Amino acid sequence: MHLKVETAGAVATLTIDRPDKRNAMSFDMWSAIPDLLGSLDDAVRVLLIQGGEHFSAGADISEFETLRATAEDAARYGAAVHAAERAIAEFPKPTIAVINGFCVGGGCEIALACDLRIAADNARFAIPPAKLGIVYLFTSTKQLVDAVGKAWAKQILFTGDIIDATTALRIGLVNELHPASELDARAKELADTIAGRAQVSVRGAKTIINRIAEGEHEDDSVPSFV
């Protein structure tokens, strides 16, 4: 299946493990993500999502000729991608994408569905549907707009061009940049820090921030004082 889940204390790690394809996501891999996340123990407080040398080169386009051959097939494929993206975006605990190398197309969808993104300074980003005649999904497009704003989202999607790590940091596509040799240690440090905070506060903040991003304006929460 090329997806591995490991748990160490309160931190779970989902690793995309298909190095011979630069971690390209197959239909089966997309389809497996919701159940994998649903199977995580309640004791997990933070989820890391990572690749290896590359985060993910996107969807495995070698499958498109067979798995997206008809409109019905394309809809089925898109539904699997959407379900995976939603499973990550709606995961109740904080999620962190740990990005090396290429983070392209579907790889960006996965990264953008995470709450935080930290990257190596060798990371490269692109979303190339304009080169493939595919329209990016609504929810994934919204995640991009929320991260980088309308103008940069349009440039990224109109051109499909590669964006370097420095630009990704500048436009808000990632939160932090680090030398590749230091990225894993920083990911662990950040995950441990969040896992060690008051979980009612962390999860409450995630819920409220997501509601704000969805355009809600009414405050129906009960104030809590410590």
Nearest to 143 by CA among 183, 217, 65, 85: 85
* Distance (Å, whole) CA 37 – CA 55: 18
pLDDT given for residue 224 in this prediction: 52
Nearest to 7 by CA among 50, 40, 52, 38: 40
Greater confidence (71 vs 205) lies with 205
Residue recorded with tokens 């997990």 = 44
Q: For residues 60 and 2, is the Cβ–Cβ distance under 8 A?
A: no
pLDDT given for residue 132 in this prediction: 83
- Counting Cα atoms < 13 Å in the Cβ hemisphere of 121 gives 4
* Distance (Å, whole) CA 63 – CA 132: 13
Sorting pLDDT into bands at 50, 70 and 90, what band is 65? confident
Average pLDDT, stretch 34-54? 96
* Distance (Å, whole) CA 179 – CA 156: 24
pLDDT given for residue 1 in this prediction: 73
The model scores a pTM over 0.85: yes
Condensed to tens digits (0 to 9), the pLDDT of residues 162-207 reads 999 999 999 999 999 999 999 999 999 999 999 999 999 999 999 9
The total of other beta-carbon atoms located within 10 Å of residue 70's CB is: 9
Condensed to tens digits (0 to 9), the pLDDT of residues 111-132 reads 999 999 999 999 999 999 899 8
Q: What is the mean pLDDT of the chain?
A: 93
* Distance (Å, whole) CA 209 – CA 153: 20
Greater confidence (171 vs 67) lies with 171
